[in-house]
Amino acid sequence: MRLVDDIVGRWTEQDLGPGRVLDVVRAPSPVLSTGGAPVDPAAPEVVRLAADLVATMRVSPGCVGLAAPQVGVAASVFAVDVSSHPKARTHHGTLVLCNAAVVEATRNEKGREGCMSVPDLTGDVKRATHLVVAGRLPGTGEDVQVTADAFEARALQHEIDHCHGLLFLDRVAGAHAVHPRKTYL
Amino acid sequence: MSSLAITVIGRDRPGIIAETTAVLADLGLNLEDSTMTLLRGHFAMMLICAGLPGSAEIERALSGLAAGGSLSVSVREVPEESTRPSVGSSYLLTVHGGDRPGIVSSVAAEVSRVGGNITDLTTRLTGDLYLLVAEVDLPPGVDVAALQTALGGVAADLGVEVGLRPVDSDEL
């Protein structure tokens, strides 16, 4: 397995081709609890799904990640892009991974998360701030390993959870750790 | 279909929630928002539910729960309230220090003075230490630095420590 930085550095979302903007499903849709089956990252329909996830993420204000179950597809594919988020420290730009799994997760920090699929609530969730993730790139199918920190690490864990049928609600830090969403100014 | 506010307060023991909610389910009531905690060892639960039975019928059905005298139950009809997200900025207010009368009222008065709305509040007394943690919505245009200064002044008078920091959430 090669390190991500040289492979992902060459990879761009243009490799996926144009995507369609899909509707985002909301809890309690069963697909959000089903999780995603492993996919063949080189299959044309998986590449198209990856492009759709990127396109849908792009048109959703403030959205830094989207997983296939959130567009109603029970597949282990997600997109993240935290590059313009103020809490990002390092990042990999637009990153789309298939069949991703956490290899290493350390240095937990609590943060308050929202999710397009749970639009009325936020929750306090502990996430690792140092993360190593293994997955495969859509299209080429190359195996990659991503080392992420800070906000990108949180976003990756949130999306990998979606691919395993988990919402942030499954990880909230306590009975009083779920809050009504506020409209921030 | 009406909204009903139900409170159950009293001596804690296993099974109170199971018994209360079984009665409500049998009446066809739908539990909506609820919160329950132990306040200095006392069981305290508040819930809003919706359904056809009136408050008198529900109180009758829950009378067995209150029969031993260790729990008091109240039921009343309440109007529907908006659950739209509030507009403004969210802050976490923390106060801790030696216990004395007036901490909550003094601090809450400063929040109220600027139109701030406390949306969640927990206080605990443990030994001599008093702790307050509150979520506060501040309306647009509030001078947060001035509020922090005002709270600092109140805290100094009370001999406690106060903090007011923004709480933001991230869309993922």
| Contacts with A158 from chain B: Cβ below 8 Å | 172
- The CATH architecture assigned to B2-78 reads 2-Layer Sandwich (3.30)
Look at residue B81 in the predicted model and tell me its pLDDT.
85
All structural domains of chain A: 2-174 (3.90.45.10)
| Cα pseudo-dihedral B25, B27, B32, B37, rounded to 10 | -60
Q: Are A148 and A90 in contact (CB under 8 A)?
A: yes
Give the C-alpha separation, A41 to A78, whole Å.
Answer: 12
Q: Tell whether A179 is within 8 A of chain B (Cβ).
A: yes
Whether B89-166 and B2-78 are alike in CATH topology: the answer is: yes
| Average pLDDT over every residue of A86-95 | 93
Q: What is the pLDDT of residue A159?
A: 98
pTM of structure: 0.82
Q: What is the CATH number of domain B89-166?
A: 3.30.70.260
Is the pLDDT at A3 greater than 70? The verdict is: no
pLDDT, position B153: 96
What pLDDT score was predicted for residue B82? 78
Interface confidence, given as ipTM, is: 0.71
Domain boundaries, chain B: 2-78, 89-166
Tell me the DSSP string of A58-122: HHSTT--EEEGGGGT--BSEEEE--TT-TT-SS--SSEEEEEEEEEEEEEEEEEEEEETTEEEEE
**Cβ pair A63:B171 closer than 8 A:** yes
Q: Does B141 reach chain A within 8 Å, measured CB to CB? A: no
B86:A183 CB<8 A: yes
Band (pLDDT 50/70/90 cuts) for residue A5 is: low
The arithmetic mean of pLDDT across residues B52-65, rounded, is 94
Locate the chain B residue with the closest alpha carbon to A67: B172
Annotated catalytic residues of A are 159
Q: Which residue has the tokens 């313009």?
A: A84
Please give the average per-residue pLDDT across A49-59, as a whole number. 96
Average confidence (pLDDT) over B94-117: 94
Q: Do B170 and A176 touch (CB under 8 A)?
A: no
Mean of all residue pLDDT scores within chain B: 93
| CA–CA gap between residue A42 and residue A138 (Å, rounded) | 6
What's the gap in Å between the CA of B117 and the closest CA on chain A?
Answer: 13
Chain B, nearest residue to A122 by Cα: B169
Torsion of CA A162, A168, A173, A177, to 10 degrees: -170
- Provide the percentage of residues in chain B whose pLDDT is more than 70: 99
